[in-house]
Structure 1
Amino acid sequence: MSDFTTSLSIAASGMEAQAMRLRHVSENIANADTPGYHRKVIRFEAVMQDGRRTGEVRTGEPELDRTELAKVLDPGNPLADENGYYDGSNVDLVVEIADAREAQRSYEANLRMFDQARQMSASLLDLLRR
Structure 2
Amino acid sequence: MGDLIQSLGLSASGMRSQSMRLRHVSENIANADTPGYHRKTVSFQEDMASGQVTTGPVRLDRSDLARIYDPGHPMADDSGHYDGSNVDLVIEIADAREAQRSYEANLRMFDQARQMTQSLFDLLRR
Shift of the alpha carbon at 1:43?
Answer: 0.5
Question: How many angstroms apart in 2 are the aligned matches of 1:26 and 1:45?
Answer: 21
* Partner of residue 104, structure 2: 108
Amino acid at match of 2:21: R
Structure-to-structure mapping, 1:1-130, within 5 angstroms: 1-49=1-49, 54-130=50-126
Aligned to 2:98, the other structure's residue is in SS state helix
CA-CA distance at 1:119 after TM superposition: 0.1
How far does the alpha carbon of each residue in 1:36-70 deviate from its partner, in whole angstroms, 9 at most, with x for none? 00000001011122xxxx32100012100011000
TM-score normalised by L of structure 2: 0.98
Tell me, which stretches of 5 or more residues in structure 1 are unaligned? none
Question: Deviations along 1:96-123, whole A, 9 cap, x unmatched?
Answer: 0000000000000000000000000100
Q: Which runs of 5+ in 2 are unaligned?
A: none
Question: Once the 2 structures are TM-superposed, how far is the Cα of residue 9 of structure 1 from its aligned partner?
Answer: 0.3
Where in structure 1 do 4 or more consecutive aligned residues deviate above 3 Å?
Answer: none
CA distance, structure 2, for counterparts of residue 5 and residue 67 of structure 1: 42
Post-superposition shift, 1:6?
Answer: 0.6
One-letter code aligned to 1:119: Q
CA distance in 2, matches of 1:78, 1:86: 9
Shift of 1:26: 0.3
Q: Distance in 1 between matches of 2:2 and 2:64?
A: 48
Corresponding residue SS for 1:43: strand
Separation of aligned partners in 1, 2:73 and 2:124: 71
